[in-house]
Amino acid sequence: MISESTSKNITVVGAGLAGSECALQLAQFGFDVVLYEMRGVKNTPAHKTDHFAELVCSNSFGSLSEVSAPGQLKWEAEHLGSFILKAAKEFAVPAGQALGIDRERFAAKVTELVNSHPKITVKRDVVTSLDQIPRPAVIATGPLTDEGLAASLQQHFGDEFLYFFDAIAPIIDADSINTDIAWKADRYDKGTPDYYNCPLDKEQYFNFINEIKAARKIEPKHFESTEFFEGCMPIEAMIDRGDQTLRFGPMKPVGLTNPKTGRYPFAAVQLRQDNKEGTAYNIVGFQTRMAYGEQTRIFRMIPGLENAEFLKLGSIHRNMYINSPKRLNRDLSSKNDPWLFFAGQITGVEGYFESTCIGLLVARFLRQKLQDQSFSPPPRTSAMGSLLEAITDPFREKNFQPTNINFGLLPPLADSIKDKKEKKTQQVRLAQEALRSWSN
């Protein structure tokens, strides 16, 4: 195996969000990049196309709020010139305070950016072994890594990989939504009426819950011993925690006044625009592992979706990730091979944009190393630095679980501030100051 930088090219394996961002950043730095992508040669259970950076679970990059951890992460990525974020904003769709994206146009744009870059050579091929690829290399194959490559990685690290399951929400034809029942509004009428809201009374809600409980589910092998990530938990798993769990989760009615009654409904299902034209909507938070026939029948019980036409039904797929605090260095290179880097969800971050940011950081770390510079991670007070800390801190290796960005990852403030909004404002201010100083 090649264990040092002997190639003039940098190899990136996987053209998802992290791999595409990493390849584009490296190319922009002036390096020659060879980018491998197996789709087009070998399909995955979750993807529909062979486009790069295809979004499979939802079409949202999360909050854009200036006083939120996801919003701060986007601020930092924009400050560092994220190609993925720029494309996402170009093909944004109305989604209230979130960054919703037309997933087909977005993926097509990223594919065009990568294919047209003179410093990037794309190879549509399946990498089945680490021995196939020269160093330096970045593995950004994500949760659906080829079985052969996964076996090679397992041999490299010498232990089992960790797994959890992701579920995907269904998508509905907008023309099939009954707008005599469903109405458009955002919570608390913030002036962005971007979501369709489907109201349920108490009887409708519990009938709906009982049908989900009785529905036939698709159970993966060894399912009971493998966990879901909290952010992509299927509705059936939520209901296992109690019949009213959905009323305090994706079906919470607060802030949604039904114009027909002037009151909040007992529960509500929200639909978020899925493409630029507004012809498709996804059911927010309704990841599911129900069998296809059951999904169609049960989701049509939702008022306003009686005649729903499903463009895509929900499904479930397995995610694979490394125990990064145990197996990777702080620059996200392997402790067994300092020229083998990892980026994206495989490192134990969860979320589209978190994965993107790890790809961006790895490109910067590789540039530092290739130019014989000292390793310089983003400041701990920044969102980027806090996310990196969460997946590399040795303290976490015994009970390592995937994480997305949240204020709990940022270091506590020196001064005790009781007002939550003021506290977050101060954390954001410190994060921005630190990131600016680091990037200059």
Q: Tell whether 19 is in a known binding site.
A: yes
Q: Tell whether 151 is in a known binding site.
A: no
Q: Are 107 and 15 in contact (CB under 8 A)?
A: no
Q: Tell whether 344 is in a known binding site.
A: no
Q: Tell whether 348 is in a known binding site.
A: no
Q: How many CA atoms lie within 13 A of 385 on its CB side?
A: 20
Q: Tell whether 18 is in a known binding site.
A: yes
> Mind spelling out the 3-state secondary structure of the chain?
CCCCCCCCEEEEECCCHHHHHHHHHHHHCCCEEEEEECCCCCCCCCCCCCCCCCCCCCCEEEECCCCCHHHHHHHHHHHCCCHHHHHHHHCEECCCCEEEECHHHHHHHHHHHHHHCCCEEEEECCCCCHHHCCCCEEECCHHHCCHHHHHHHHHHHCCCCEEEEEEECCEEEHHHCCCCCCEEECHHHCCCCCEEEEEECHHHHHHHHHHHHHCCECCCCCHHHCEECHHHCCHHHHHCCCCCHHHHCCCCCCCCCECCCCECCCEEEEEEECCCCCCEEEECCCCECECHHHHHHHHCCCCCCCCCCEEECCEEEEEEECCHHHHECCCCEECCEEEEEECHHHHCECCHHHHHHHHHHHHHHHHHHHCCCCCCCCCCCCHHHHHHHHHHCHHHHHHCCCECCCHHHCCCCCCCCCCHHHHHHHHHHHHHHHHHHHHC
Q: Are 175 and 323 in contact (CB under 8 A)?
A: no
Q: Tell whether 408 is in a known binding site.
A: no
From the annotation, which residues make up the binding site? 14-19
From the annotation, which residues make up the binding site for FAD? 14-19
